[in-house]
């Protein structure tokens, strides 16, 4: 494990580099989400977007607002690999992740334990710093967990293109950590990327205008996720090809939940989406948009 710190490489472009400004933005979005009275808490896991904060920041607040920081000691952050081809999952090699608010310590012990299974690769510093799917969650984590600064740690995991068998293998592994109520899982994903620049223009005219079709398509996927059905989610992706960039982390998490339910039959698990937005409403074929959705998982 290296002694290096992963730089906040997207600060100043994807979100504010100035700590005071960033803190104010996050506080404003979290307060707006709180004022909506949309509640599904306390979250044991969340799904939240990872686009530039100007686009997805307000939506992400609806997921992060469901977290009770007082119970959290360790955070597992699962994000998709956008730049590097992986057939498994990869772990960081650093000891801290930088944010404009404060540095977040990596749980070195847990990272080394996972590495020892032989099921994980290592991220190079370059790979780590180029990947925004992990970094875009760090300021929100730092803000929501500010009262616990120094009392919690992070386990960042980059998820590649996995077979269903590997999704299930990781699901078995992570289910043991989900059983510990001091662990929080954060799943990083945007939803439909629609438009010619994304090479995805599926639209069903029976569902209304293009943006309405996109919402219907996303809602179908969100309903399956809420039902916690990994097999059905894979079938949905195969049928419609919806460009959900975090489909692999989501699939791993669904497999984690399915495994957990088998070992904890008396647990009441509820996964609910609490917010959905689009970057812009597509009405013609030359338009493009990205969808954002936030969800919260509770367990009793």
Cα separation, 153 vs 48, whole angstroms: 19
Report helix, strand and coil shares of the chain as percent, to nearest 5: 40, 20, 35
Cα separation, 228 vs 264, whole angstroms: 15
Is 68 inside any structural domain? yes
Is 180 inside any structural domain? yes
pTM score: 0.97
Domain count along the chain? 1
> Which range marks the domain in which residue 34 is found?
5-191+245-281+290-299
Place of tokens 């875009």: 136
| Cβ-based burial of 80 (10 A; exposed 0-12, middle 13-18, buried ≥19) | buried
* CATH code for the domain in which residue 58 is found: 3.40.830.10
The DSSP string of 218-235 is: HHHHHHHHHTT-HHHHHH
Is 221 inside any structural domain? no
The pLDDT score that the predictor gives to residue 264 is: 82
| Cβ-based burial of 238 (10 A; exposed 0-12, middle 13-18, buried ≥19) | exposed
Cis peptide upstream of residue 42 (ω within 30 degrees of 0): yes
Is 202 inside any structural domain? no
Mean pLDDT of successive 10-residue stretches along the chain, which has 300 residues: 82 98 98 97 98 98 98 97 92 97 98 97 95 97 97 98 96 97 98 98 98 98 98 98 98 97 86 98 98 97
Cα separation, 247 vs 242, whole angstroms: 9
Is 46 inside any structural domain? yes
Instruction: For the chain, report the end-to-end CA distance as a whole number of angstroms.
Output: 36
């Amino acid at each position: 494990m290296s002694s290096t710190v992963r730089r906040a490489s997207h600060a100043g472009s994807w979100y504010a580099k100035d700590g005071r400004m960033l803190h104010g933005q996050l506080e404003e979005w979290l307060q707006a989400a709180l004022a909506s009275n949309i509640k599904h808490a306390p979250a044991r896991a969340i799904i939240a977007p990872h686009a530039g904060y100007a686009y997805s920041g307000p939506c992400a607040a609806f997921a992060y607002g469901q977290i009770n920081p007082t119970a959290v000691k360790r955070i597992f952050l699962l994000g998709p690999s956008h730049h590097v081809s992986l057939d498994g999952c990869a772990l960081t090699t650093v000891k801290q992740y930088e944010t404009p608010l404060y540095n977040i310590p990596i749980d070195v012990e847990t990272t080394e334990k996972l590495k020892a299974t032989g099921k994980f690769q290592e991220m190079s510093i370059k790979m780590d710093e180029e990947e925004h799917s992990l970094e875009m969650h760090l300021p929100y984590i730092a803000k929501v967990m500010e009262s616990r600064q120094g009392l919690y740690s992070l386990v960042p995991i980059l998820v590649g293109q996995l077979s269903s068998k590997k999704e299930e293998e990781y699901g078995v592994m992570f289910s043991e950590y989900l059983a510990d109520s001091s662990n929080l899982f954060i799943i990083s994903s945007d939803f439909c990327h629609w438009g010619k620049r994304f090479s995805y223009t599926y639209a069903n005219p029976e569902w209304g205008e293009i943006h309405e079709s996109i919402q219907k398509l996303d809602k179908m996927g969100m309903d399956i996720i809420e039902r916690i059905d990994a097999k059905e989610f894979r079938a949905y992706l195969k049928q419609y090809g919806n460009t959900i960039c975090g489909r692999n982390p989501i699939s791993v998490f669904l497999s984690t939940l399915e495994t957990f339910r088998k070992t904890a039959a008396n647990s009441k698990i509820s996964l609910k989406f609490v917010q959905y937005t689009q970057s812009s409403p597509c009405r013609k074929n030359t338009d493009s948009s990205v969808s954002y959705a936030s969800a919260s998982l509770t367990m009793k």
